[in-house]
């Protein structure tokens, strides 16, 4: 008896469908969590961080001291 015969007789054909459905469900939950309405305020704040001019307490490149 070969390995192919053993695996064919094991009846594992439905496990690939279960794995596909499980992975799709997890992917859908992650997408809904990332793009959810509750996280929009957090994303809005994070999107404006590079534009803020908050240089208080940071040293300058030339002298090493802020004035």
Rounded-to-integer distance, Cα 18 and Cα 31, Å: 20
Domain boundaries, the chain: 16-46
| Residue 49 predicted with pLDDT over 60 | yes
3-state helix/strand/coil string of 2-28: CHHHHHHHCCCCCHHHHHHHHHHHHHH
- Check: CB of residue 4 under 8 Å from CB of residue 12: no
pLDDT-derived band at 35 (thresholds 50, 70, 90) equals: confident
Q: What is the model's pTM?
A: 0.51
* Residues 63/55, Cβ–Cβ less than 8 Å: no
Residue 24 above 90 pLDDT?
yes
On the question of pLDDT at 41 being above 70, the answer is yes
């Amino acid at each position: 008896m070969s390995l192919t015969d053993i695996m064919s007789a094991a009846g594992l054909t439905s496990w690939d469908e279960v794995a596909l459905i499980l992975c799709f469900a997890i992917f859908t939950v992650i997408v809904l969590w990332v793009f959810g309405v509750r996280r929009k305020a957090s994303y809005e704040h994070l999107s404006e961080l590079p534009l803020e001019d908050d240089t208080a307490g940071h040293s300058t490149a030339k002298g090493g001291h802020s004035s």
